[in-house]
Every structure is written in structure tokens, then in C-alpha cells.
Amino acid sequence: MAMTMTQKILAAHAGRPDVHAGELIMARLDLVLGNDITTPVAIGEFPKFGRAQVFDRTKIALVPDHFAPNKDIKAATQCAAMRAFAREQGIVHYFEVGHDCGVEHALLPEKGLVTAGDCVIGADSHTCTYGALGAFSTGVGSTDMAAGMSAGETWFKVPGAIKVVLTGRPRKWVGGKDAILHLIGRIGVDGARYQSLEFTGAGVAALSMDDRFTIANMAIEAGAKNGIFPVDDACRAYLAAHGAKEPKVYAADADADYARTIEIDLGALEPTVAFPHLPSNVRTVRAAAGLKIDQVVIGSCTNGRLGDLRCAAEAMRGRKVAPHVRCIVIPATQRIWLQALEEGLLRTFAEAGCVVSTPTCGPCLGGYMGILAKGERCVATTNRNFVGRMGHAESEVYLASPAVAAASAVAGALALPA
């Protein structure tokens, strides 16, 4: 039976020769992830599954990153619960404020905890990020996280798939964020509902790993169950450089069934922005330039990697943030923060008038540090711009690439990088 890349991974983890779209299966898990919002709920549910210990203390990853460093007593209480559970269970992969801190979906690949062919669940919707590494990864609720920690397996409804064929090479200042916003704009926020977005084509080789992480990260914003990329030389090199275990490479069958095929010429794309209040409400920056803004956020699990910071610094170097704009830069992990320091990127940001933060999700979900007041507008490299996402219900978030965000901070309005 012909299968897609995702279906082959699920079949292998279900111990089956094949699976088909719509089928319900049980599959073993290579990693279960939780953060400081979702894990405390999972900890409360865990005893109900009848096991005193997690199925494998090396296959659980707990990352306090949403409200950490703790913003208030409630956040501190949530992180304390995680910390105690990690110690009680002997969880090997517990990462908190300090040398091992980071935003979960940037941190886990950096630590080599995910490899090609893995089956990963996380109690966070953007767990689909790891599809950039050729893994099946998807978000679940806290109860499913608790069940996964207990049993080491969980159920899935096998997704159908959409093939996204990438061609061409992006122009200067165009990257993964522009590609995924373009795709979401074409198919809508429910255009891939419970399907796998499977990226292929010669254009994949023109995308950096940072670009692929960004694209896979936002697959959920099109309603997808997961996004996934083929395992090529760039992917293998990334896995080797980060000490990941030996990859298991799966490729879709030539006659695999796809609900539809979408072609994107990367060379034809322009810098793109998503207007409030949906990631699908896209326009070219050229058409939207001049819209006055109050704040810029550069970071998050979508665009806080080193390549993103390099791009933003290049667009901002030698310039100053507009006097009426607040610009917050958040490297996604401590390792990225340190390398950005060594490369002089943080100095570039500071001299331009930006605030540089320790790694955290912070303003992305309206957690803290950068909350918007009524009527304020923010250009952000984050992944969602729903009503009230970053503060007041009458504030506005515009999603864009690091290059566009940096250029807009300098211009004081939506702008193309020079």
C-alpha cells in the first residue's frame, strides 16, 4: 500500500506494515514534551493512569519557557511543580533558566533530542516544528501528554496529506516566514485541517534549516496535523552537528495519495505580512508599507534562531529604532544568545535602541514583557495574531519575517528592508 512520509513513520511506530488515512492507531513515542503552562495540568492527571513512574525518564522533556523567568507568583508555582516532578521522576531532560534555558521548539533540536523518523508529541501546538528534521511531531492536550508519559504510546488518527512542491530560490530578504505566510494565505487557517503538509521539490535545498523550522512551526496555523520535510544533506548535517541519534529516513512512495498538490516558486515570493487577526490575512509588505506601529518583537519558537538574528541585525546595522517604537529582541536559546553576543549581533541591537532579553516565549502569547495597550500595533516574528494574542483585545499584531520586523522598527512603520 502506497504511503506518504508521515504515514510511513506512523506505521513503523505502530508496528504495522502500512496504515491509511482516517485509521485509528496506537503508536509508540520517542519523546514527550511539556512546558510550564501545560505540564502542571499533566502532572495532576498523571496519577490517574495507574503508574508511579514515567515510561522512560530519558524520553520526557520539560521546558519552563512561557512565563519563565517567572513573571509572578502563579508562574513561579507552576514552574515549581514542574521542577519537583522532574526531580521526583528523575527526568533527564529538564531545562530551566540558566545555561540550558530556551524556547522549547528551538531548544530540543539544538540539544539533539529529536531526529529523523521520530514520533514526538508535545503539549504545545507548535510541536510540529520538528518536522523540519524529518520527524513526525504534533501537539496534544495535557491529558494526552500525561497518558504518553505513563504508557510511552498514544493514539492517532492517521492524517491524509497535501504535497507542497517548492521550486526556485528565495531572493534577498525573503525566507521561510514569507513562504509559510504565503501558503497559509492561499489555503486558509483550516486549509490543511488534520492533514500532513509534506514539503518537497528542488526548492527545499534552497532553504536553510532555520527556514525549514519556521515553515514546519507554522503548519498548525493552516490547521495541519504536522508539517514535514525530506531528510537531505543539510538535515543530516544539522543532526550530526547537534549530536542527535542516528536518523531513520522515510520517504513518500511515488504513488502516495495526496488530497491536493500545491506549487510554490520561492523565487517569486516577496516579503509578506499577515494582518490582524489571522495568519491567513496576508499582503505583501510593499502593498502595506507605511502603516504606523508602536512595537516590534523579534524572536519566538518561529524566528528566534541564529539565522533570524543575523538577518535582523543586517537589516538594522548602523540604524536607529524609531523614537516612538519599542523593539524587543529575544534569542530563542542561551546558546543562540551567547553566539549572537560573540558575533556582535547583540551590540548591533543595543546600539540601535533595542531591548535584548533572556530566552523566553514572553510576549508571543501575551505572557509578559511587551504586552500591548488598547489601539497599539506590533510587528512580530511570532506565529499567531489572534484577537488579544499579545495584550488588549483592541491591539493589533502583524506577523512578518525578522528582516521586515527590523526594517519596520527603524522606519516606525511597516517597511521593506533596504
At residue 101, the pLDDT reads: 87
CATH class of the region 272-411? alpha beta
Cell 509588505 belongs to 285
Sign of CA dihedral 218, 222, 227, 232: negative
Task: Tell me whether the omega of the peptide bond preceding residue 277 falls within 30 degrees of 0, making it cis.
Answer: yes
- Read off φ and ψ for residue 280, nearest 5 degrees: -85, -10
CB 165 within 8 A of CB 200: yes
What is the distance between the alpha carbons of residues 376 and 396, in angstroms, rounded to a whole number? 6
Type of residue at 5: M
Alpha helices in 53-201 (DSSP H): 73-89, 104-110, 142-151, 176-187
Phi and psi based region of residue 90 (left: phi greater than 0; alpha: psi -120 to 50; beta: remaining): left
What is the distance between the alpha carbons of residues 388 and 396, in angstroms, rounded to a whole number? 8
Q: What is the 3-state secondary structure (H, E, C) of 222-262?
A: HCCCEEECCCCHHHHHHHHHCCCCCCCCCCCCCCCCCCEEE
194: Cα separation from own chain's centroid: 18
Nearest Cα residue to 330 out of 370, 286, 366, 289? 370
At residue 416, the pLDDT reads: 96
Residues of the chain with CATH 3.30.499.10: 6-264, 272-411
Low-confidence ranges of the chain (pLDDT < 50): none
In this prediction the pTM is 0.96
What is the distance between the alpha carbons of residues 214 and 262, in angstroms, rounded to a whole number? 19
Q: Which residues face 153 on adjacent strands?
A: 28
Domain 6-264 has CATH 3.40.50.720: no
In three-state secondary structure terms, 146 is: helix
